[in-house]
Structure formats: C-alpha cells, structure tokens
Chain A
Amino acid sequence: MKITLKYLVLVLGAAVFAYPFLWMIAGSLKPELEISNLGLLSENYTLHSYEQVVTKVPIGRAFLNSIIVSLATTASVVFFGSMVGYALAKLRFLGSKALYLLILFTMMIPFQITLIPQYILIVKLGWTDTYPALIAPTMMSAFGIVLFRQFFVSVPNALIDAARIDGCSEWGILFKLIWPLSRPVVITVGLLTFMSSWNEVLWPLMVVRERTLMTMPQIVTIFTIGGEAETQLGSLLAAATLLSLPVIIAYAFFQRYFIESMASTGLKG
C-alpha cells in the first residue's frame, strides 16, 4: 500500500514534468484545430507549422549563430579559466591572493548593476550587431575559474615538479598533464557554460537588432511577441520545439553529466 502510493506520486511527478514537452512536440505536428486537445496522437500530423516558422524567420541562420556564439564562449571560458585556475592553484606570484579575492568578489556582484554600463560599453565600442558583442562579455567566468582552481589544488605538487624537472613548460604542464587529470571539471565548466550561453536571451535582445545575427532563443522570442506568429499556436509550438530539441537530445545522451555538474556547483555557489 505504502509502496504503491510512493510510486503513484513519483509517476505523477514524472508525468507533470515530461507530458508538457510531449504535448508541445505533438502540438507542433498537429493541424491548428487539434492542438488544444489533451491527447498526443492525431491522424493528420503535418509539417505545416514548421514551414510557417522557416519561411517567416531566418531560423537556420539563428541556429548557426547560436552554435558559433555558444562554442566560442565555452572554448574561451574553459581555456582562459583553466589558465587562471592553474596560476592561482599552483604558481607563486605577487598578487595571487589579491586576484583570488577579486574573483570571489566578482562572483558576488548582482548582474543588474553592470548590465546597462556593459551595454553602453558595447555601443561605444561600435560592437552592436556583431558576434564580439555576444561573446566578449561572457568570455571569462569568475565562477569557472574558482571551480578550476578548486580542482587543480588537489593535483599533487610532486607530479608537477617531476614534469618540470623533465623540462616540461608550464603550458605543457597545464594542457598535457593537468587537463587529462581534470576531465570532470573541464566537462562541468564546459557543459554549464554552453547551456547558459545557448539559453541566454536578455543580452542578445539588448545588443543585436539585425535579424541575421540573432541567436535561437532571441529569434524565437521576437517571433512570439513580434506578431509574426499571427497567434498560430502550431507555429509557436514549432518554434519552441526547434529551440529546445537540440538541448533535449544532448541531455538524453549526457544527462548524468548535466545533473552532476549542476549538483556539484549548486552546493558551492
């Protein structure tokens, strides 16, 4: 009895979280009149809604833009972040403590305070409607650096000293010795950065007006509130599906990494 109740709650919970997504995907394939039905099946599945989206907004281009921006941001955060993390964890230099405190301080600043001045900086640099505007302000992450530093501290010094004696450069030590030992933290920082970059929408809305430079979530937002969807439920759901499906597919393969990354960082954050 108790066990039945337990599974009932768990399954009900699963339905609450999963069913809306299934309904969204099914709705994007149904003809307009059948969308508000509760069920998922229809005998009249059609790609009409997707055609609507593709012809009205440059969504293919937006997909490409999102890939470029997210990959560049992630590569930069991981590359530069691990450099600073290594310097803070293993190298002795004047000001290293001050730098670490500065990074911790940066993590505490609510973004609301720097958002408008950052936007003005981009305008003054003449970067509006460019990729640098989308990438530069998130090229490095204080949070990422702290995660790298924490992980690198636990790498034994003897290992690093041995590599130095063998004539290995600091670059070699970081990328050939420490990186392979630190796959979990590289994956964690990479995955979290990619995900937040892919889903970011406020900043693109501020610095990009040119449609061919918009990111996926941005173009879907513009499509939704800009009236181009013409209140057609199907095309709205199709746009939402196109936006979320890549992440859902990635999640299906790497869900353990997603969850463990969030869990390990959430507790420290």
Chain B
Amino acid sequence: MRGRWRVIEAVRKSDRFGFLFSLPYVIFFLAFVAYPLIFSFVLIFHRWNIVTPMEWIGLKNFERLFHDPLFGKAITNTLTFLLIHIPLQIIIALLLALLLNSKVKMRGLFRAIYFLPVVVSGVAVTILWQQLYSYDYGVLNALLKAIGLPSVPWLVDASWAMPSVAIMATWKNVGIYIVLFLVGLQNIPAELYEAASLDGASRFRQFRHITIPMLNPTVIVVVVLSTIGGFSLFIEPYVLTGGGPMQSTLSGMLYIYNQAFYFGHMGYAATLGFVFALIILAVVLIQRRVIETEPT
C-alpha cells in the first residue's frame, strides 16, 4: 500500500508537461527501437522469408553462421579495411591539423576545403572514385604513369580492392578528424609548452610528451568512430565493386543486405546483424580500454 501511495504521490507532484513533452518520444521508442530490438531476438531463432509463416529452427542460424565462409570473409575484409583506414586517417588528420594549428594564412579556407568531401553524398563520392580508379582510363593510373610508375589494378585485383575502398573512405572522412584534432590541439594549455621550453625540452620531446598525451581523448574518438564506420560500410562496396572481385570487398552490412534482399533469408540476416552488433560493441569497448590505459 505504502509503495503504491508513494508512486501516486510522485505522479501527482510531477509536472504533467514533462509527461506530455516526453510522450512522442516514448511512442517512437516503443515502435522503432524497443519493438525491433525484441523482434530481433525472435527472428534469430527462425527461418523466414516474410511471405510464408515463420519456422522455428532453434540455434541453426548461429550454427550456420559459424560455418559460413562468407561471414568470415566479411569479418576479415572489415579488419583489412580498418587496419589501413584508421592509421591513415590518424596520420593525415594529425599532420594537416598540426600545420593548420601553426601560424598560417587562410586557415579557414584550407579547413573548408579539407572538410568538403565529408558533406557530399557517399554515392557521389563513390561514382567519382570509380572513375579515378579505372585501370585503363583512370586519373590515378595516368598520374602514376606520368611519374614513371606502373599502373595499379585498384578495383580489379582482389588484394588491392579493399585497400582502395579504405583509401577512398579516408579521403571522404578525414576532414572530420582534422577538425577534431584542431579542436584538441587548441585545447592544450600554452603554459605546458612554455614550462617545457624553460626546462629545455626540444620541440620533438614537447610533441611526444605533451601534444600526443593531450590528444589521447581525440584519438579515442577517431578510432571508435572509424571502427563503427568500417563495420557499417555499405554503399561504397555496393556501388564500387558489388562486393567483388572474389568477395574481397564484401562488407558486413553488404552481406546482411544480400542475405535479406537477394535470398530472402530474414532470420539469417537478422542473426548476422545481431552478431555484427555484438562484435562492434566488443571491439569498441576493447579499443577504449587499450587506448585509455596506454602509458604516456
């Protein structure tokens, strides 16, 4: 009785506009977050093509997933992507941010240009790069030829295709990270450098022992956002290569899409989505741990 009375009292004291203003979100949450989340737990135990009735198959989806070579391929492709994309992104973003942070004219203009690909649709960027990467007529191979280097089979060779996607994604996204590093650099107190100079620390030592540690939170953001982006890769391989050649650019999201919409395997597609989500959460958690505890 007392418990119920307390709840009633709390409701009575509540601002009714609090409920009213929150209500639309609560309805939205139930329909488009809670329901799909619960439904995904149902789907992973079923075989279903949406048209015929659902069929309970227990853990068969997971059994299949662990023996599915294409699932493994999607994981290793994503890791290949991240292994190239993340270091490239950090190095380029940090270099350009450091240059922009020094005394430089037209900083705003440079920053705006570096940021341009970020706002443009991924589809447009992919169409553009498809042309740049073209083996016979592409601008990149023409440039390589001009300086006397052999042509690169960017999209036609299975071992080059994923690195090519990673380079393109870096070009598209690095602008965000330049801006984030720039903010990070500007937040480092100038007194730290002054004190270090007085103690006779060289520029390099200042960079190593002040700049790098102070940028650690930014690096975490860059690594985490890039990782989530890597696991969400879809339109780039979909338009650029269709996942080929020889499945070398098949991404997790592309595989989920194919299972759902080419084969109508809704249960299996949901299982793949479920497992990929768990992998993303695990990888991001581990990354945070590792970077946060890194000795400086």
Contacts and interface: CB of A to CB of B under 8 A. Distances in A.
Interface of A: 6-7, 9-10, 13-14, 16-18, 20-21, 23-24, 27, 35-36, 38, 80, 83-84, 86-88, 91-94, 96, 99, 102-103, 106, 108-121, 123, 136-137, 139-140, 145, 170, 174, 195, 198-199, 201-202, 205-206, 216-217, 220-221, 224-225, 233, 236-237, 239-241, 243-244, 247-248, 251, 255-256, 258-259, 262-263, 266-267, 269
A195 B119 contact: yes
B24 interface: yes
B199 to A, nearest CB: 24
Given A23-B139, A137-B32, A221-B123, 10 more contacts: A21-B120, A88-B22, A91-B18, A96-B18, A113-B277, A205-B257, A206-B260, A217-B235, A221-B238, A237-B131
Contact of B39 (A96, A120, A202, A233): A120
B123 A206 contact: no
Contacts of B114: 13-14, 17
Interface of B: 7, 10-11, 13-19, 21-22, 24-26, 28-29, 31-33, 35-37, 39-40, 43, 50, 95-96, 99-100, 102, 104, 108, 110-125, 127-132, 134, 137-139, 142-143, 171, 175-176, 179-180, 182-183, 217-218, 221, 225, 228, 231-232, 234-235, 238-239, 242, 252-253, 256-257, 260-261, 266, 269-270, 272-274, 276-277, 280-281
Contacts of A109: 33, 37, 277
Nearest to B114: A17
Q: Which are the 4 A-B pairs with shortest beta-carbon distances? A: A93-B18, A117-B36, A93-B14, A91-B18
B273 A202 contact: no
A198 B116 contact: no
Given A84-B24, A259-B115, A14 B110 contact: yes
B32 A225 contact: no
B118 A262 contact: yes
Given A116-B269, A236-B131, A201 B276 contact: no
**A interface, over-half SS:** helix
Contacts of B272: 112
Contacts, number: 271
A201 B29 CA distance: 23
A237 B125 CA distance: 10
- Candidate in A136, A206, A255 with the most chain B CB atoms within 10 angstroms: A255
Contacts of B116: 17-18, 21, 248, 251
Nearest to A100: B22
A110 B10 contact: no
Contact of B21 (A84, A102, A221, A263): A84
A15 B272 CA distance: 41
B99 A9 contact: yes
A256 B231 CA distance: 29
A115 B273 CA distance: 8
A116 B266 contact: yes
A265 to B, nearest CB: 10
**B interface, over-half SS:** helix
B131 A202 contact: no
Contact of B120 (A103, A112, A170, A248): A248
B264 to A, nearest CB: 12
B261 A206 contact: yes
Contacts of A92: 13-15, 18
A16 B178 CA distance: 15
B21 A91 contact: yes
28 contacts: A17-B175, A27-B131, A35-B137, A36-B142, A83-B22, A87-B21, A87-B22, A94-B7, A94-B14, A99-B22, A106-B33, A110-B276, A113-B40, A113-B273, A116-B43, A116-B266, A118-B32, A121-B35, A136-B32, A140-B24, A198-B121, A206-B260, A221-B235, A239-B127, A247-B120, A255-B115, A262-B115, A267-B183
A10 B97 CA distance: 10
Contacts of A16: 171
Contacts of B96: 9-10, 13
A111 B19 contact: no
